[in-house]
Structure 1
Amino acid sequence: MGNREDLMAGAKQCLFEKGYARSTARDIATASGVSLAAIGYHFGSKEALLNAALIEATEEWGSVLAAVVARASEASDDPAERFVAVWDGVLGTIAEHRGLWASQFEVMLQADRVPELREALAGIQKEGRLGLSALFQGLPEVPDTEEELSRGIFYQALLVGLAGQWLATPDLAPRGQDFLRGLELVGGSVLKPKGTAADGPQWHGPTG
């Protein structure tokens, strides 16, 4: 690898082991095996490097997640069973990539005080939501529409909530069956059962 790639690898290692705020430029240079000056030359600042590393690490986790969701989706023809299998698989990827998720939450908490972080998060927010909408529907991509963004927001809320609960109390984090039961209860109390009215939102049951 070249110095730029080495720096990205070293920055990701520091993010996972030390977190965003505690990773110094010297830490990254040491982990990368390159000089401190190389950070400024290739990225301009330590923060820019960490932001780029976090985005790349998230994209790499996304590829892992896509494979897990694809396998889980093939586990059953029943939508409810697929839904449970998918979210159990998602939980597994969060556990395997704890350092990434801990850094993600750290960054989110600091975003309101660091303009560069806020801009970096805003830049990938929409793309991430559309990506989640496509992923959980088993599609390569989805159009940039209000419906798909809303679907992505829903999945994003579940995903971030699951990660946060697992980081706080792994033994009490919800499983796929818990999500399914919650979806049934909330959907049943908020949406009208199918066929009870000619208009308004309708509850069609859980889907995968």
Structure 2
Amino acid sequence: MGNREDLLAGARRCLEEKGYLRTTVRDIAAASQVSMAAIGYHFGSREALLNQALFAAIDEWSDAVGGLAGEGESAEERFADMWDRKVRNFGELRWLWIANVEAFVHAQSSPELLAALAAGQRAARPHVAALLRGVPESEVAEADARSLGSVQIALMTGVMVQTLTDPEQAPTGRELAAGLRGLAALLDEGGGPGAAPGSGTTGGWKS
């Protein structure tokens, strides 16, 4: 490998061992056995190098799991199995998801990184909607991308944080399916935030 590839591999090791925020230029240089000056020459900055290493790891994960499609006879069983697989994956690749969270925090003071994360999020919506629909991405309507895609991404982010915070109490796939059914029932029956006490199947939500 050349210096550029060595630096990417070293940055990947640093992300696994130290995370996004605590990794320094010196750490990357030591892990890659390349001079610190080479980071600026090839990538411009520590941040740009870490971003490339992180995005490459995410792409690698995405290619490997293929959407983590679930198995089962019914749609609900396949949905539950898919989420059980995702929860296990969050635990197995804990370093990757923690690095994602740290990158999001850092992006609030880095317009370039924030723009890259936003672009990735926009691209992910139709992709995950297509996986849920079982159709090619080219056949996903904008409305589905904005609804199904956004909800699935929201679930992924929320379940990921819950799993990283309290792995033993992470929600199961069946619990998530039941929760979505419960939310749908609240919407159908007029319950939810702001509903009158006793309305809906659960008697309304606590504020």
Over 3 Å counting, the alpha-carbon distance change for 1:136 and 1:38 in structure 2 is farther
1:86 alignment partner, one of 78, 82, 89: 82
Match of 1:62 in 2: 62
2:104 alignment partner, one of 92, 103, 108: 108
Once the two structures are superposed, what CA deviation does each residue of 1:129-182 show, in whole Å capped at 9, x if it has no partner? 222222333445244723223211111000011110011110111110110110
Q: Structure 2: which amino acid aligns with 1:5?
A: E
**Distance in 2, Cα, partners of 1:20 & 1:88:** 27
Figure out how many residues of one structure are paired with residues of the other and give that number: 188
The answer to whether 1:174 aligns with 2:171 is yes
Over 3 Å counting, the alpha-carbon distance change for 1:140 and 1:111 in structure 2 is same
Structure 1 residue runs without a partner (length 5+): 193-208
The answer to whether 1:18 aligns with 2:15 is no
**Distance in 2, Cα, partners of 1:139 & 1:59:** 21
- Is the 8 Å Cα contact of residues 129 and 144 (structure 2) preserved in structure 1? no
**Distance in 2, Cα, partners of 1:44 & 1:156:** 31
**Distance in 1, Cα, partners of 2:9 & 2:160:** 23
Q: Which has the higher contact order (CA 8 A, sep 6+)?
A: 1
Structure 2 residue runs without a partner (length 5+): 190-207
After the TM superposition, which of the residue ranges 161-170 and 140-149 deviates more from structure 2?
A: 140-149
- Is the 8 Å Cα contact of residues 64 and 93 (structure 1) preserved in structure 2? no
- Which residues of 2 match residues 2-81 of structure 1 at below 5 A? 2-66=2-66, 68-69=68-69, 72=70, 75-81=71-77
Percent of pairs identical after alignment? 44
**Distance in 2, Cα, partners of 1:27 & 1:146:** 45
The answer to whether 1:130 aligns with 2:137 is no
Q: Structure 2: which amino acid aligns with 1:183?
A: L
Once the two structures are superposed, what CA deviation does each residue of 1:59-110 show, in whole Å capped at 9, x if it has no partner? 11112331632xx2xx222111111111001111111110010011112122
**Distance in 2, Cα, partners of 1:76 & 1:163:** 23
Q: Structure 2: which amino acid aligns with 1:18?
A: K
Over 3 Å counting, the alpha-carbon distance change for 1:117 and 1:80 in structure 2 is same
Over 3 Å counting, the alpha-carbon distance change for 1:17 and 1:179 in structure 2 is same
- Is the 8 Å Cα contact of residues 29 and 35 (structure 2) preserved in structure 1? yes
The answer to whether 1:98 aligns with 2:94 is yes
TM-score by length of 2: 0.83
Q: Structure 2: which amino acid aligns with 1:47?
A: E
**Distance in 2, Cα, partners of 1:58 & 1:103:** 10
Over 3 Å counting, the alpha-carbon distance change for 1:26 and 1:138 in structure 2 is farther
**Distance in 1, Cα, partners of 2:134 & 2:12:** 29
SS in structure 1 at match of 2:73:
coil
- Is the 8 Å Cα contact of residues 126 and 144 (structure 2) preserved in structure 1? no
